[in-house]
Amino acid sequence: MKTLPTFVCWGLLLAGLSGCSLAPKYSVPLAAESQAFKETLSPADAGTWQTAVPAEDAARGEWWKVFNDSQLNDLEGQALAANQNLAAAAARVQEARAIEGVTGAARFPSLSAGFGPSRQQNAPDSLGVPPGGPRPDAQTVWRAQANISYEVDLFGRVASSVHAAHADTQQSEALFRSVQLALQADVAQNYFNLRETDAELAVYHRAVELRNEALTFVQHRAEAGEVSDLELAQAKAELASATSDAMTVERQRAASEHALAVLLGKAPSEFSVAPRPLEPVVIHIPPGMPSSLLERRPDIAAAERAMAAENARIGVARAAYFPSIVLTGTGGYESSAFSDLFKWSSRSFLLGPLVGTAANLPIFDGGVRKGNLANAKARYEEDVAKYRQQVLVAFQEVEDNLANLRILENQTRVQGDEVAASTRAAELSKTQYEDGSVAYLNVIDTERVVLQARLTAVRLRGTQATSTVNLIRALGGGWGDAPTTASPATE
């Protein structure tokens, strides 16, 4: 019975032992926990605490449709299709996947083939020729050979590298979703800011109309000699002030429109939005369980995957303390004459490394391996701290926006009362002025109060809309089962 060559036996044995990773056993470290949000709007929203399970790829749906605005829906679709920051994030995902493929290739043997001649001159001693004997002639050798090389992953260096590259890819995918969510939120916020400026412009345009009417009335009284030139100058100043303020808001609207165009991947000259004042946005968003927040936030998922990658790289650094074993082989044909190259008698082979030894054990490197291992551990601890901080920031962002919406609900109602009261006071002041019982300065003061009250009411509506968007963003985008949005393409 024939036995396998020793080299093959050792190769099979080492291959069977390969894949033992030296990386620490990975588990998601403990982070801040909360049974319910402090600002939970109702007990039904709190839910029940459960251990968070990463779900960064869970379906989030087209959450912006909750605002029931067809134009916003259209803008969101345009942004997802053409935004350049999102395209760059998708390219980074493809880059990470490609790097993972390159890293994973180390698990398999590398094969190559070569063909061609070489001119060589052998030393007499290498051929056993006695000193002073005839010197061999230089000769041309033709070779047609196949080469194979394989690193036996006995101590898990390759396996740990592959695990790290895979975690890097998952981190890139999570970061893509984070960029995607940020884009969706930015489009919604810019859209509502644009509508808010439209509402402010409507308030200013109405103020300008009233100032014009007041100026006309004062001019008639001045011509009749009933009032002094001081009141006429005051009326003109109020008109100019309101007109100038309206122009300021027009500049702000133009800038908001330009910013929205860039988010959509368009030049500002190619994009415009017809004016339409902002309608009140009062939508109840259930925050759910804090543990669900940790599952849905893509930035938290990215931070967790970064930890996993650095944990695997600790294994790579530890493997450097142990021998690296590379099996090589070359086989084919070689001959001094091309016509004899592919004859059976011209076959040749070489098993074992062409240079050096199959197993290499580093003995002294001046502390390089020690430094690399310390660096890998420190990077892991850094990512653990970043992960825990990101969890705290996530809780804060949800609480902030829940508090904003809770207070804004009452504040907008109170502000509505102020608008109504100040409007009534302005009407009474104007009537009394027309009767001659109060000075024109009283009219100016009450109209200023009305203008400011109406502007504050509009801005509160804008803050309410953007806070709702911010809450959805802080919750990871959406809160129910719905069709998933765009994801980086797989080539």
Burial 292-325 (b: 16+ CB within 10 A, else e): bbbbbbbbbbbbbbbbbbbbbbbbbbbbbebebb
| pTM for the predicted model, two decimal places | 0.80
pLDDT for 286 equals 75
What average pLDDT does the segment 216-229 reach?
84
Q: Tell me which H or E stretch contains 376.
A: helix 368-435
CB 349 within 8 A of CB 331: yes
Q: CA-CA distance, 384 to 44, in Å (whole number)?
A: 33
Strand partners of residue 328 = 149
Residue 18 confidence (pLDDT): 53
pLDDT in tens, 414-431: 999 999 999 999 889 888
Percent helix, strand, coil in the chain (nearest 5)? 60, 10, 30
Q: Which residues pair with 334 in a beta bridge?
A: 143
- Calculate the average pLDDT of the chain: 82
**Which pLDDT value is given to residue 129?**
62
Distance separating alpha carbons of residues 222 and 38, to the nearest angstrom: 61
Model confidence pLDDT, tens digit, residues 5-26: 444 444 444 445 455 678 888 8
* 442 or 93, greater pLDDT: 93
Confidence of residue 488 (pLDDT cuts 50, 70, 90): low
Summarize pLDDT for 384-393 with one digit per residue, the tens.
999 999 999 9
pLDDT of 121 above 90? no
Quick count: other Cβ atoms within 10 Å of Cβ 230? 12
Task: Choose among 245, 167, 149: nearest CA to 204.
Answer: 245
Confidence of residue 282 (pLDDT cuts 50, 70, 90): confident
pLDDT, tens only, 433-472: 888 888 888 888 888 999 999 999 999 999 999 999 999 9
DSSP state of 135: P
| pLDDT at residue 260 in the model | 95
